[in-house]
Structure 1
Amino acid sequence: MKALTLNDLLHIRQENELLFANNERSVLVSTRAFGAMQRDLIKNIGINRMKTFFFKYGFHLGEEDAQEVQKIDSLSMLEKFEYGPIIHALKGHAKSRITERDLEVENNQIKSFRLKGIWESSFEAEQHIQNFGIKKGTVCYTLTGYATGYVTALLGEEVFFKELQCEGEGAPCCIWEGRLVSEWKEEAEEFFSYSKELPIIKELELTNENLLVEKNNLALVSRTYNEMTNELIKGNNIDSILEILNKQTNLPIVIEDIRQHLLAYKGITRDDYELIRKACNYSGDKYRNIAKVNVLSFENGTRIITPIYLLGKVVGYCSFLYDRGRTPNYDIDSMIIDRLASICALLFLKEKAEIESLEQVKGHFLEEIISGKYSQQEILRKADFIQLDLSGHYHMIVLTYKFMKKCEEKEFTLHKTTFEAVSTFFRNKGINVLIGQQADSLVLLLMEKQLNQQNIENTLLSLVSHLKKEINNSVFLAGISSQNSKIVDAGVAIEEARSAVRLSSRDKPITSFSELGILGVLINDQNEKAIRKLVRDTLGVLSENLDSNKVELIETLYHFLLNGGNLEQTAEYLALSKSGLRYRLTKITDFLGCDLRDPQRQFQLLLALKALKIVDHERLKKSK
């Protein structure tokens, strides 16, 4: 191929003081002006749009030159490829040369194409460095566009050229490569996503339309929220709020508590809700993982669900339900359901404050009853103010609790959490009970008529079981007084309950005062000294100078006697081996100096141990 000159390609001439190249009106533009335009474009339309702009500009330049080269019939296809770098260089874009070439054609179909080469002294890289300095990434968008347009026009197939390295990022030269677009796969995807962007004016029009839609959506959400808030301010309940929301959205709405029990609903029957709940079959864990607005699918539709937060904890869930034929408008509905959750949180907070206030009043009233401040008639009259009938039989209950893992912050929280859990338990069962709080215990006054002929022990067992589920790593024990009819005797009854709870244990958490037998009758303020003498005379040195070792032996003897002297049952309860149990019993025998198998002696020891647990409960507790 003979060496080409600029005039061979452009046929430059002047006519009427104007410049023409190949009979086309032309202008001369300096690379500095090009660089200034590039800088302003980046500033005004962004780097990504600028890439597309200059790539397309270069593409058209290359396409025009290829059309001229196509007219030279004497050249082979590879020779026409080689003309491209020559034209590129003659026009001042860069010193260009091809280093690798490959073209495979079969049945007039291009099977493979690959062209690789080098650009030196790229005008585009030069201006980019002057304007922006050396930065990571390739910058010769016009040159790659030129090569892409030139070869695409020659082959009639879509090709794409990209830089593998660039002078603009500090490399000694630019290395480029061209292949069929189908061969680049995801490597060209980023650039073509930029190429498909809308013109700025179209994008602005769409943005404006989207803003108008968003404005209307926010107006609808704001109007709905204001109407719900007005209902709240008026003091109306959740049903009236859901009524308004259901009319606005024409969607079924449900509100559930943390255990997925239905609290309120509108636009759906309870039976239909139960069918949906069963179809959803969501586990408690899946619900607990819902921390924000979420879309859940079930067999015949969809639900948008969001948690209700109260004091940093999830206390329930709000949901919109959609049947299969209706698609959720997520943008609007998610905002509305989120605001409904806020309204519900305020309602729950109001209800919580009202309940806590009432419980405080009831607790203070219970303290006054126990102190003996009022007469029978005064107590009955004041009880009417809290809708509680205190005429009839009642029991006093002492519920003790302790946290298994020592943590001051958690122990402080435990008192409040236990009070709330006990209050909620009885409220859910429709039982009106007086609850007072003392150190590490709750005091309850429970009327038998409130139990609706249920067994009080079974009711308290249900309470303890409920508390274990609600509050981890805690032990709850309860003592029940004897049945009383005179409310002024509550002070005596509470002492009975305190005596009973001292005999409760983890395997038998509920103890009734009647189970104390003769001890319950004997132990009182008048004969406490005689009871202590009985304990000393029966247990001897085992009850003196108590320490953790002696308390351990006392507990071993107590459970050995409770199990009727059965070694296997006692060892299993104490988690000891039989040999370990025998060792302890030998030490106990040495202390007592008596035969532990004597039935009469066993009775006296068990009686003394029960008395010790009641009258010296605090001393035993401190010695553990």
Structure 2
Amino acid sequence: MKTLKLNDLLHIRQENELWYANNERSVFVSTRAFGAMQRDLIQNIGINRMKTFFFKYGYQLGVEDAEEVAKRDSLSSLEKIEYGPIIHALKGHAKSRITEKDFEVDGNQIVSFRFKGIWENSFEAEQHLQNFGISQGPVCYTLTGYATGYVTRVVGVDVFFKELQCQGQGAPCCVWEGRLVSEWKEESEEFFSYSKELPILKELEQTNEKLMLERNNLALVSKTYNEMTNKLIEGNSIESILDILHKQNHVPIVVEDSRQNVIAYKGITLEEFESIKDTFSEIPDKKQFHSKVSIFSFEKGISLKTPIYLLGKIVGYCSFLYERELTPNYEIDSMIVDRLASICSLLFLKEKTEVESMEQVKGHFLEEIMSRKYTQQEIMRKADFIQLDLSDHYHIVALNYKFLNSYDEKEFTLHKKTFETVSAYLREEENLNVLIGQRPDTLLLLITEKQVSQENLEKKIRTLVIFLKKQIKNALFLAGISSQNSNILEAGAAMEEACSAVRLSSRDEPITFFSELGVLGILINDQNEQAIKKMIREQLGVLYKNLDKNKLELIETLYHFLEQGGNLDQTAESLALSKSGLRYRLNKITDLLDRDLRDPQRQFQLMMALKALKIVEYERIKKIQAE
């Protein structure tokens, strides 16, 4: 190809002191002025819009130059393409050259098109470096636009040129590549983003329409929320609130508790919901309009579901159900179901406060009963207010709990949590109306015979202990159950029985009835305490004197040994000791007591003394263990 001069293609002339190129009025612009415009555009419309602006600007420049070249019928398509870098360089954009080319035409069909080349001293990269420093990506948008527009006009098919490396990124030169748009695959999205970028005014118009739509949506959601809130303030039930929503959106609504038991529903029967709830399958890749709202599919449609939070914990769920012919307005409906969850949270908080207040009243009532503040007639009358018949036989249960490890939660919080867990379980799971009082590390439960028979009481309490172990980790729960009582005025004595019994409960056997204490239970009372302690001293001797942790360890060993009937294997297993370690302790105990531990009479007396010790010296033992 012959060497071209600028005027060969542009036909530059001056007329009346004005410059013309190919009969088009032209002006000279310095690269510094271009850089200033580049800087201002980035600051005013952002880097992404600036890319589109300069790409389209370069594209137009390329198309105009290609139209002049296209008039030369003597040139082949490949020669016309090769003129592009030459014109580009003659205009001062960059020193441009083709390094690789693959161009094949079959008739009017382009079979293959792939060009690679280099731009050196790109004016666009030079200005970007001066104004902004090194870029994270290519910056020669005018140059790639020019190449794209020029070749597209020459070959009559959409092509796209992009930079593989750029001087603006700190590279020694810019490397470019051009292909048919159809061959770029995913990367062609970049071309279409340049081609389809909306004008700013059009974009502002669309943005305004979206804002108006959003405002209307928020107004609708706000109106719905206000109506639900007003119903809540008026003291209406959750069913009344669901009525409001169902009249508006005409879709089934379901509210569940944390165990997914249905609390309230509208627009669907309980049987219908139960038949589909197990088929729900979450759609993880569905567009989420609210972070808390999940979308589920089921056999007949889809569901929007959001959790109900109370004090940072999930206490239930709200769901909207849509059959196949219904399509949710995800943006609005997700906001409304979330507002419903907020209303339900307030309702649950109100219910929780009412329940806690009632439980506190009942606990205070139990304390007054045990302190004999009221007559039997007054107690019966007050019990009617809480729907509890205290003319019936009853038991007192002492539920003792001890936290085995340190907790991040404050002690008060743990006691409160234990009380609430026990109260909720008896009320919701067992449907029992129970008076619950509190002592340090102990809950006192008054349970009437009409609700739980004496035969079933141990099973109920054992189930409660198992439940608590699952709910409150690293805690030991022990229970003591009083004898059956018929006189409510004797509740204080029944409480003492339960507290005495729980002191003999252990990890292996967490529940003890007062009746299991036998004659010991009859003997132990305030009047006999000194006599009981004397009996303990006589039987345990040195082991009882100056109690400390080491002696308590030996006492516990002796207690398990006697409880297991002198069986070494079972004793070692219950104490988690080796048999040799157990023998060492038993030999030491025998030496201290100077008595035969195999003597049945002696075993009986020692067991009585040990049980009495656990009861009358309970506080002292607990204090030593805590040291």
TM-score of the pair, normalised by structure 2: 0.91
Deviation at 1:188, TM superposition (A): 5.0
Counterpart position of 2:448? 447
Cα distance in 2 for residues equivalent to 1:611 and 1:33: 101
Counterpart position of 1:390? 390
After alignment, is 42-51 or 367-376 more displaced? Answer: 42-51
Deviation at 1:558, TM superposition (A): 1.4
Question: Does 2:422 correspond to 1:434?
Answer: no
Counterpart position of 1:4? 4
Q: Provide structure 2 residue ranges, at least 5 long, that are not aligned to the other structure.
A: 283-289
Counterpart position of 1:517? 518
What letter corresponds to residue 48 of structure 1 in structure 2? N
After alignment, is 161-170 or 467-476 more displaced? Answer: 161-170
Counterpart position of 1:231? 231
Cα distance in 2 for residues equivalent to 1:387 and 1:192: 74
Deviations 1:369-428 (A, max 9, x none): 212222222222332333322212122221110111023734332210111111112222
Cα distance in 1 for residues equivalent to 2:597 and 2:16: 134
Report if the CA contact (8 A) 2:98-2:115 is conserved. Answer: no
Deviations 1:11-41 (A, max 9, x none): 344667765443x332324236655554554
Identify if the C-alpha distance between structure 1 residues 566 and 133 changes in structure 2 by more than 3 Å, giving closer, same or farther.
closer
Counterpart position of 1:343? 343
Moved over 6 A (4+): 15-18
Deviation at 1:498, TM superposition (A): 1.1
Question: Does 2:230 correspond to 1:215?
Answer: no
Counterpart position of 1:560? 561
What letter corresponds to residue 623 of structure 2 in structure 1? K
Counterpart position of 2:604? 603
Counterpart position of 1:105? 104
Counterpart position of 2:25? 26
Q: Secondary structure at the match of 1:161?
A: strand
Q: Secondary structure at the match of 1:63?
A: helix
Report if the CA contact (8 A) 1:163-1:177 is conserved. Answer: yes
After alignment, is 557-566 or 337-346 more displaced? Answer: 557-566
Counterpart position of 2:286? none
Counterpart position of 1:160? 160
Matches within 5 A, 1:107-126: 107-108=106-107, 109-120=110-121, 122-125=122-125
Report if the CA contact (8 A) 1:93-1:143 is conserved. Answer: no
Report if the CA contact (8 A) 2:94-2:123 is conserved. Answer: no
Identify if the C-alpha distance between structure 1 residues 167 and 421 changes in structure 2 by more than 3 Å, giving closer, same or farther.
closer
Matches within 5 A, 1:390-539: 390-407=390-407, 409-428=409-428, 429-451=430-452, 455-539=456-540
Q: Provide structure 1 residue ranges, at least 5 long, that are not aligned to the other structure.
A: 283-289
Cα distance in 1 for residues equivalent to 2:105 and 2:416: 84
CA RMSD of aligned residues (A): 2.7
Report if the CA contact (8 A) 2:56-2:145 is conserved. Answer: yes
Counterpart position of 1:569? 570
Q: Secondary structure at the match of 1:265?
A: strand
Report if the CA contact (8 A) 1:304-1:320 is conserved. Answer: yes
Deviation at 1:464, TM superposition (A): 1.2
Q: Secondary structure at the match of 1:391?
A: coil
What letter corresponds to residue 439 of structure 1 in structure 2? P
Identify if the C-alpha distance between structure 1 residues 204 and 607 changes in structure 2 by more than 3 Å, giving closer, same or farther.
same
After alignment, is 384-393 or 264-273 more displaced? Answer: 384-393
Cα distance in 1 for residues equivalent to 2:102 and 2:291: 58
Matches within 5 A, 1:19-168: 20-22=20-22, 24-31=23-30, 34-35=34-35, 37-90=37-90, 92-105=91-104, 107-108=106-107, 109-120=110-121, 122-125=122-125, 128=128, 135-168=135-168
Q: Secondary structure at the match of 1:443?
A: strand
Report if the CA contact (8 A) 1:403-1:411 is conserved. Answer: no
Cα distance in 2 for residues equivalent to 1:119 and 1:95: 6
Deviations 1:221-247 (A, max 9, x none): 111111111111111111111111111
Counterpart position of 1:286? none
Q: Secondary structure at the match of 2:450?
A: helix
Q: Secondary structure at the match of 1:72?
A: coil
Q: Secondary structure at the match of 2:527?
A: coil
After alignment, is 203-212 or 360-369 more displaced? Answer: 203-212
Cα distance in 2 for residues equivalent to 1:449 and 1:361: 22
Deviation at 1:513, TM superposition (A): 0.8
Report if the CA contact (8 A) 2:497-2:514 is conserved. Answer: yes
Identify if the C-alpha distance between structure 1 residues 73 and 25 changes in structure 2 by more than 3 Å, giving closer, same or farther.
closer
Deviation at 1:537, TM superposition (A): 1.6
What letter corresponds to residue 350 of structure 2 in structure 1? K
Matches within 5 A, 1:270-281: 270-280=270-280
Cα distance in 2 for residues equivalent to 1:464 and 1:172: 76
Deviation at 1:365, TM superposition (A): 1.8
TM-score of the pair, normalised by structure 1: 0.91
Deviations 1:293-334 (A, max 9, x none): 211223333221111111122211111122233332211111
Deviations 1:83-129 (A, max 9, x none): 22332233x33352315132242645432422302243x44445556
Cα distance in 2 for residues equivalent to 1:239 and 1:440: 40
Counterpart position of 2:205? 205
Deviations 1:167-219 (A, max 9, x none): 55566654433334345444454353233222333323322322222222112
Counterpart position of 1:594? 595
Deviation at 1:135, TM superposition (A): 4.6
Q: Secondary structure at the match of 1:318?
A: strand
Identify if the C-alpha distance between structure 1 residues 583 and 83 changes in structure 2 by more than 3 Å, giving closer, same or farther.
same
Identify if the C-alpha distance between structure 1 residues 35 and 97 changes in structure 2 by more than 3 Å, giving closer, same or farther.
closer
Cα distance in 2 for residues equivalent to 1:198 and 1:8: 38
Q: Secondary structure at the match of 1:526?
A: helix
Counterpart position of 1:287? none
Counterpart position of 1:256? 256
What letter corresponds to residue 297 of structure 1 in structure 2? S
Cα distance in 2 for residues equivalent to 1:581 and 1:133: 80
Counterpart position of 2:331? 331
After alignment, is 127-136 or 1-10 more displaced? Answer: 127-136
Cα distance in 2 for residues equivalent to 1:86 and 1:107: 26
Cα distance in 2 for residues equivalent to 1:441 and 1:43: 69
Identify if the C-alpha distance between structure 1 residues 167 and 365 changes in structure 2 by more than 3 Å, giving closer, same or farther.
same
Cα distance in 1 for residues equivalent to 2:263 and 2:229: 19
Question: Does 2:297 correspond to 1:297?
Answer: yes
Counterpart position of 2:552? 551
Cα distance in 2 for residues equivalent to 1:328 and 1:198: 29
